[in-house]
Structure 1
Amino acid sequence: MAKDVEVAEPGEFSAKDYHDPPPAPLIDAEELTQWSFYRALIAEFIATLLFLYVTVLTVIGYKSQTDPNKPVVDECGGVGILGIAWAFGGMIFILVYCTAGISGGHINPAVTLGLFLGRKVSLIRAIMYMVAQCLGAICGCGLVKAFQKSYYNRYGGGANELASGYNKGTGLGAEIIGTFVLVYTVFSATDPKRNARDSHVPVLAPLPIGFAVFMVHLATIPITGTGINPARSLGAAVIYNQEKAWDDQWIFWVGPFIGAAIAAFYHQYILRAGAIKALGSFRSSS
């Protein structure tokens, strides 16, 4: 009797070559008893703190250098929008590289939500990561204000606000698409199936993630100042604490969460055919 031979489609693996890791449990109370869990929370807190500290300082420094009311204006115009985008993308590259082996290097509640919806992390870990990220962002912006209070207040504290001339729908759309690009890149760069095929992928994963942040900032800084990270927007709003920042705050939560959810669905159920695999498994068991 001939044995069934599974033939892989182009670009696919056979069952002998690769097996998807099991999904993370929805609620894993055992995590609360492990030091590695709290170490990951500390890593997310510190990484988000450093991220906000460097990037907000860059934004404030650029606005200070280009302030037309200053007696001496920098002829070079500071780092410019390109430099700000590099600061955000470069810091994400550095911090993801440093923390990926400890916490996964999320540094963003939207990324955490996307990975939770993709069953990569448990609900408990997702919630605690978001708390750690938001606290880290608040502390990072607090450090900036502590060191440069006059500049911080004068130049907007790096807070995300909808630019004049754009309606809220445009701002929301920019945040949805921008976050989709980021979270889609995260899923693609950390796909275990690609890791099994290409040994260099885990090493290079922080690079495309950082570049995704860089490119999205180039496109959306003129519209919303670029959120795509609810912790970043919340931290700046809490420390700056002005009405305009709070009025637009919902855009920087709703938009990134919708974008992250769409990216998780697209990667897991369209590209990775999760729905088809589940249906095939159901038919086999029947």
Structure 2
Amino acid sequence: MMKKSLAEFIGTFALVLFGCGAAVISGKTPEGSAAGIGLLGIAFAFGLSVFVMAYAIGGISGCHINPAITISMLVAGKISAADAVGYIIAQFLGATVAAGVLYAILQGHLGFELKEWGLGSNGWGPGYLGEYSMTAAFIAEAVLTFLFLFVIFGTTSKFGNSTMAGAAIGFTLVLIHLFAIPITGTSVNPARSFGPAILAGGMALKQLWLFIVAPIVGGVVAAIVWRGLFEEK
């Protein structure tokens, strides 16, 4: 159990550090020009993080690195409650430590200022990226998490190709980010939202509830649908 939890800690740490780091450091140049990696680059940073960690820790913990996935697997009967609790604690800790490391690095940049929704935090409404409504944000996060979990269940089942599961899951996350970055910055992962929000405070922390509730709702529905309609008894 200790090895599994540590693997989840490291995997979630890597996801938040690479993904959020790409968004706030490499997303644009210091001068704000278009020479940065942009939306496509940020999407690939998150997707490739999951892709590589799936092969690094998949054999140890299954590479959930996302409380919504862990809860969904619990509902589907694929993980014990004890393991789920350990996973979730490790995921939140990993994300928070990663956000702290990212903050420490950013403080070394001349003129750095922690702004509203800083450190790659998720959000919605006036002042945040595309300024979408709370309803739009909730629908996007719930539906996209459902689709994400459906791909995970499908590729890791006997119907899928287990050797390609990491690639399929990683590229699905890329697609999700390409769609949702302008809406919410893309969470589909409560831990990924928790770490940056805790340090950024302000609106990021006030709006954190949506990025915990919506992905869990989407994940639970995916587990129920998969278990009820697709999984052979």
- Which of 80, 84, 89 matches 1:126? 84
- Which of 59, 69, 74 matches 2:23? 59
Q: Following the alignment from structure 1 to structure 2, what is the Cα–Cα distance between the partners of residues 189 and 244?
A: 37
Q: CA deviation at 1:51?
A: 1.3
What is aligned with 2:166? Answer: 206
Q: CA deviation at 1:47?
A: 1.0
- Which of 107, 114, 119 matches 1:157? 119
Q: Partner letter of residue 208 of structure 1?
A: A
After superposition, where does 1:245-264 map in structure 2 within 5 Å?
A: 245-264=204-223
| 1:221 and 2:181 correspond | yes
After superposition, where does 1:78-89 map in structure 2 within 5 Å?
A: 78-89=36-47
Q: Following the alignment from structure 1 to structure 2, what is the Cα–Cα distance between the partners of residues 156 and 163?
A: 15
- Give CA-to-partner distance per residue, 1:135-185, whole Å, 9 cap, x none: 000001111111112547248211111143322111100000110111111
| 1:235 and 2:195 correspond | yes
Q: CA deviation at 1:62?
A: 3.9
Gaps of 5+ in 2: none
What is aligned with 1:170? Answer: 136
Q: CA deviation at 1:58?
A: 0.5
Q: Partner letter of residue 221 of structure 1?
A: I
After superposition, where does 1:261-272 map in structure 2 within 5 Å?
A: 261-272=220-231
Q: Partner letter of residue 210 of structure 2?
A: I
What is aligned with 1:19? Answer: none
What is aligned with 1:146? Answer: 104
What is aligned with 1:194? Answer: 159
- Give CA-to-partner distance per residue, 1:219-239, whole Å, 9 cap, x none: 110010001000000001012
Instruction: Summarize the Cα distance change of 1:269–1:152 in structure 2 as closer, same or farther, 3 Å threshold.
Output: farther
Q: CA deviation at 1:63?
A: 4.8
Instruction: Summarize the Cα distance change of 1:244–1:40 in structure 2 as closer, same or farther, 3 Å threshold.
Output: same
CA contact (8 A) 1:145 1:152 kept: no
Secondary structure, counterpart of 2:159 in structure 1:
helix
- Which of 26, 35, 41 matches 1:77? 35
- Give CA-to-partner distance per residue, 1:159-212, whole Å, 9 cap, x none: 111143322111100000110111111111111x236xxxxx221110110011
Q: Partner letter of residue 162 of structure 1?
A: W
| 1:48 and 2:12 correspond | yes
Q: Following the alignment from structure 1 to structure 2, what is the Cα–Cα distance between the partners of residues 77 and 38?
A: 43
| 1:182 and 2:148 correspond | yes
Instruction: Summarize the Cα distance change of 1:152–1:53 in structure 2 as closer, same or farther, 3 Å threshold.
Output: farther
Select the structure of larger CA radius of gyration: 1
- Percentage of identical aligned residues: 34
| 1:137 and 2:103 correspond | no
Q: Following the alignment from structure 1 to structure 2, what is the Cα–Cα distance between the partners of residues 59 and 121?
A: 32
Q: Partner letter of residue 49 of structure 1?
A: F
What is aligned with 1:92? Answer: 50
Q: Following the alignment from structure 1 to structure 2, what is the Cα–Cα distance between the partners of residues 250 and 82?
A: 27
CA contact (8 A) 1:96 1:206 kept: yes
Q: Partner letter of residue 148 of structure 2?
A: L
Q: What is the aligned length? A: 225
TM-score by length of 2: 0.91
Q: Partner letter of residue 220 of structure 1?
A: A
TM-score by length of 1: 0.75
Q: CA deviation at 1:272?
A: 2.2
